[in-house]
Amino acid sequence: MKHMVMLMLAVGLAAAPAAAQDAQKAKVDITGAWTMTVDSPQGQMTITANFKQEGETLTGNHVSEMGEATLKGTVKGNDVNYTLTLDMGGQQMSIVHKAKVDGDTMTGTAELGEMGTMNWTAKRKK
């Protein structure tokens, strides 16, 4: 009986750090305005990303010199995934964004299909 209690205590203590990490990941909320810096073939571009997160559902928009585009995606733990659809002279172009959140910073990629991939970073506006 004593060994069983010790075993259960050991298992409980071993699981505690994992549970604490899961709780920390669950607290990620990227709602708000972020300043994005995108490394494009034409040089760096600055974009304002406005995110609204409700649970794992992400909506919002990007605003830049080229206009405004809506986005839809998810936030799961520290992983952010969303798609932005642009109207390029009558043709629709989807850009898939993938990023990791670390506090008030995100680092990710934007996949433009046949046009390649661009790296980007974002910082939460204060």
pLDDT digits (tens, 9 = 90+) for 70-98: 999 999 999 999 999 988 788 888 999 99
Kindly state the tokens that stand for 86: 């642009």
Please provide the size of the chain in residues: 126
What is the model's pTM?
Answer: 0.77
Give the best-scoring range by mean pLDDT among 18-22, 26-30, 37-41, 52-56: 52-56
Q: What is the DSSP string of 76-101?
A: ETTEEEEEEEEEETTEEEEEEEEEEE
For the chain, which domains are there? Answer: 29-124 (2.40.128.120)
Which stretches of the chain are assigned E, i.e. beta strand?
32-40, 43-54, 57-64, 67-76, 79-88, 91-102, 105-111, 117-124
27 in the Ramachandran plot: left (φ > 0), alpha (ψ -120 to 50) or beta?
alpha
